[in-house]
A and B are shown apart, each in its own frame.
Chain A
């Protein structure tokens, strides 16, 4: 029998994101040159929420984008199945920008490595920071997050599932036994 444990409900997800929005503003001293970029797929809805919160706190619209990292993955050609490619949307140069990368779960760090390589093809950002809702450990590369919703030490056989959708009341983070 698989056992699922809800570790964050909709309210705690929202509270974490609010805190992270404030931390991002504090660390970057406002919204000058700030860009929020969500990594497909899990990071995109979280990036939208953070963009919304930061814009509301500061009363100004901030820029955001979407990144598909598939073409930069280190395992993209190692299996017979080609992962589907979705659209990347970064219609502005990143030169001198303060980029906050957003993903749902930070695990091995390989996705973030690929994302940083991809960002460099869009210019030379002043700084890249990383925001994740869950840090579950087990890094395989020297990468850490700057803004973390919750640190959740997990076993390798467990799966961390983040659900963030337009229906905000259904947001949750669940640990599934593999």
Chain B
């Protein structure tokens, strides 16, 4: 089996069989991270560059660990310490990196479509690690791996996604993926944060949090993007928390074996109560562990031969 594209730009155009292939491969890769010697020689001599124009701890570290466990060499570039501060454009930066002949470039950028631009320009494989409010495919893949692992399937499950849907690339990639895999997706959030026409993606929109999570198999809480508060999308954080926080009280409406997910970083007490984030239903840290496996699988599947 083989991925049809040299790049991983988003979930929208990724066929279901390829999602299955990535998840199956990732499931087999998990064991490597549990060994005493957490390394296999597969990507020896390959170079992976991570190019991050936005802050990140989880995703960048996860990609770097994934590459290192496959024996690839990694170079990390973040905008604040690169020539970007001297005014170099994205395309010039990319062309210069290309000249040093890496094999895979992982990019995060605040502009939607940044990864797409590089993919069209460079011969290297490009992995989108988040582009603006557009897509974050590896997050959706690790979320789907976590759901599949915990529930044994994705098809037929009810997944509630709650929070700032409009600004969330995590929500967008997950909606594409989960719908494709046959889940029922319910989304919920303040009216200002629900994009108009989102029903066309195949989701059900719920205005009340209680309705959204009733009988859910999976509740996925999104990070309240505090940096966007200035734009007056919502009156106050306290009011947001009162209506859209997952807590001891409303979680009872979901199925007994519900799993609670969050892409991080968590704003404790805003979108999720601390005792829920740390509670028995929470799989937040498993998501992080699965992130390494999913990224290893992608690096493996995108590497190598041209024949």
Contacts and interface: CB of A to CB of B under 8 A. Distances in A.
Contacts of A82: 1-2, 25, 300-301, 303-304
B28 A86 contact: yes
A121 interface: yes
B25 A121 contact: no
B305 A80 contact: yes
Nearest to A81: B2
26 contacts: A71-B41, A71-B42, A71-B70, A72-B40, A72-B41, A72-B42, A76-B304, A77-B43, A77-B304, A77-B305, A80-B2, A80-B304, A80-B306, A81-B1, A81-B2, A82-B2, A82-B304, A84-B1, A84-B25, A85-B25, A85-B297, A87-B28, A88-B31, A89-B31, A121-B37, A121-B39
The list of the 3 closest CB pairs from A to B, nearest first, reads: A77-B304, A71-B40, A85-B28
B36 A93 contact: yes
A87 B42 CA distance: 16
Interface in A76-104: 76-82, 84-89, 93
B228 interface: no
A116 B36 CA distance: 16
A172 interface: no
A79 B46 CA distance: 15
Interface of A: 68, 71-72, 76-82, 84-89, 93, 117-118, 121-123
Q: How large is the interface on B (under 10, 10 to 19, 20 to 34, 35 or more residues)?
A: 20 to 34
Nearest to B297: A85
Contacts, number: 67
Given A85-B300, A121-B37, A122-B36, A79 B305 contact: yes
Contacts of A81: 1-2, 305
Contacts of A86: 28
Contacts of B32: 71
B231 interface: no
B52 interface: no
B196 interface: no
B88 interface: no
Contacts of A122: 35-37
A68 B28 contact: yes
B200 interface: no
A79 B28 CA distance: 21
Contacts of A84: 1, 21, 24-25
Contacts of B37: 121-122
Interface string B50-77: 0000000000000000000010000000
A87 B27 CA distance: 8
A76 B35 CA distance: 21
Contacts of A117: 41
A89 B42 CA distance: 18
Nearest to B300: A82
Contact of B304 (A71, A78, A85): A78
A156 to B, nearest CB: 22
A72 B41 CA distance: 6
B244 interface: no
B176 interface: no
Nearest to A84: B1
B42 A77 contact: yes
Contacts of A87: 27-28, 31
A118 B301 CA distance: 20
Interface in B254-307: 297, 300-301, 303-307
Interface in B8-49: 21, 24-25, 27-29, 31-32, 35-37, 39-43, 46
Contacts of B35: 121-122
A76 B300 CA distance: 10
Interface centre among B21, B40, B303 (most CB of A within 10 A): B40
Interface centre among B301, B305, B306 (most CB of A within 10 A): B305
A123 to B, nearest CB: 7
